[in-house]
Structure 1
Amino acid sequence: MKSIALIPARYASTRFPAKLTADLCGKSVIQRTYLSTVATGIFNQVIVVTDHSEIASHIEELGGTVFFSQKIHESGSDRIAEAAATLDADVVVNVQGDEPFQDKTSLENLLEAFKDPEVQVASLMFSIDTQQAEDPNAVKVVLDKAQNALYFSRAKVPFARDSKVAVNYFKHIGIYAYRKDVLIRFTQLDKSHLEQIEMLEQLRLLENGIPIRMVETTHQAIAVDVPEDLELAKAYFRNYSDKI
């Protein structure tokens, strides 16, 4: 099975302009993401997909591979689909460009899911407590018995109607792996009704009958969304055992 990691890297950002080129202990955020993804050693190829020359130069300085997107895209999924269409791959993993510390075990387990021929899309989740589940920025996922997603929501789901019944809450991590043809088909579908209500593009998959196999991890990724997150990432890096 040939697997490729594609890292969508958009320069513009409303909450933190040019965040991917911000310094993170001697290298930029996008460089850290690229290097930590390569360091897992599990992909046949790692490519940064961008529309901006500054981001491209950061990756080319490392000897990395860049794909320049030619179209205007609304999402990272659309951006990587343009690149994937030109590449020889069985499985494509969408690695978020603003998550600089990728976890080898989590990504290995994500790819492992595709040994099941029924798996078309896989994604990650981790267990959270009741208080964390209250946060609408923490996207929750509920599962069927086969570990496929039933629904994703910003609401606290499942709702505990009977306090005597134990509830497990899982937070979704936005790293996806797709069979190549499914990724391309997904990005050609119209935005779905529930997707527009919750503002969660993965609901488009579910509404169109494309299952998502969920893989549990204990790794909690650091995403650099605002300047304060960058300070957290720097603090983490100083204690990071496998510094890259």
Structure 2
Amino acid sequence: MKTAIVIPARFGSTRLPGKPLLDRTGKPLIQHVYEQAQQVKNSNQVVVATDDRRIFDCVAGFGGEVVMTSGEHETGSGRVAEAAGSLDAEIIVNLQGDEPEIDPAHIERLIHLHTNSNAFASTLACRFSHNAVSGAGSPDDTAAVKAILGDAIGEKTYWARYFTRYLFPVPRDTLGAIKTPSDYFLHVGIYAFFKENLMTFAGAPMGALEKVERLEQLRILEMGEAIAVAEIPAAVPGIDTPADYDAFVTRWSEGVT
């Protein structure tokens, strides 16, 4: 099956305005993401979808493929769906534009999972670090979305039961204190869809749970559809804040990434 990776990118960001164009590494952030996606062996095409002429010109300037989309989209998925409509691909991967260190092998795993499943959508998750018992980056961090996994599909692949920003399940015996963070799964926000499913999803109204948690993937579950989840060993955080970007620049300059 032909597969296209679509990277939605917008200039406006509450916590980090102009994020895709930050270039203290010598290249813009969006180029880092694009180049990681280009390394994916089972993908046929990489495209940036944006509503901002500055990002469009930046991507075109480094030789990337880019399309302009409407400025009316409330979510990245809507932007990806608009771009996907003109692509010759059966599987569409929605890769966030703030993941400059994502492992191409993990994207390959996602595409393989989706190609061989009958899921409406597929995504990734990893276990929390064993020492992430509290605070930022732990299971009780509302910025870290948890994947609640159900029945196994195959080796380290599962059906999703739910996604939440909150600690779940809450360990009653310890009054909510987390003893084993690795019992919880961190959701990695990348998705694979068959194109027709992506269009259905993007055109569906928000469900009640999505409105409360502000998590798009809950719309799929509320539609009665299934999400397949592949467990990966670990995930590098995306870039959401100036501190995140500073840390990325440091890793890059030290040759860690």
Same fold (TM over 0.5): yes
Match of residue 238 from structure 2: 223
TM superposition shift of 1:162:
5.2
Q: Where in structure 2 are there 5+ consecutive unaligned residues?
A: 153-157
- 1:39 Cα deviation after fit: 2.4
Shift, 1:141, TM fit: 1.1
Alignment identity in percent? 37
Answer whether contact 1:8 1:94 (CA < 8 A) is retained.
yes
CA deviations over 1:136-192 (Å, ceiling 9, x no partner): 111111111131110111111122245699971001011111111111100111100
TM-score by length of 2: 0.88
Does the Cα contact within 8 Å between 1:222 and 1:233 map onto a contact in 2? no
Aligned to 2:171: 160
- Please provide the CA RMSD for this pair: 2.0
The letter for the 2-side match of 1:85 is G
> Residue by residue, what CA displacement relative to the aligned partner does 1:77-114 show, whole Å, maximum 9, x if unpaired?
00000011111211110111011122121111101112
Q: Cα distance, 1:119 vs. partner?
A: 2.1
- The aligned runs of 1:51-130 (5 Å cut-off) are 51-128=51-128, 129-130=132-133
Distance 2:230 2:255 in 1: 24
- The reply on whether 1:33 has 2:33 as its aligned counterpart is yes
The C-alpha deviation readout for 1:5-32, integer Å capped at 9, x for no partner, is 0000011111111111011410011111
CA spacing shift, 1:24–1:166, aligned 2, 3 Å: closer
Give the AA of the match of 2:166: A
1:138 and 2:149 are equivalent in the alignment: no
Structure 2 Cα separation of the partners of residues 114 and 36 of structure 1: 20
The residue type paired with residue 159 of structure 2 is N
Q: Which ranges of structure 1 fall in alignment gaps of 5 or more residues? A: none
| Match of residue 184, structure 1, among 199, 203, 221 | 199
Distance 1:122 1:113 in 2: 7
Q: Distance in 1 between matches of 2:239 and 2:80?
A: 20
The 3-state SS of whatever aligns with 2:122 is strand
Matches within 5 A, 1:166-205: 168-205=183-220
Aligned residues between the structures = 242
User: 1:71 Cα deviation (Å)?
Assistant: 4.7
> Which AA in structure 1 matches 2:186?
K
CA separation of 1:171/1:210 partners in 2, compared to 1, >3 Å: closer, same or farther? same
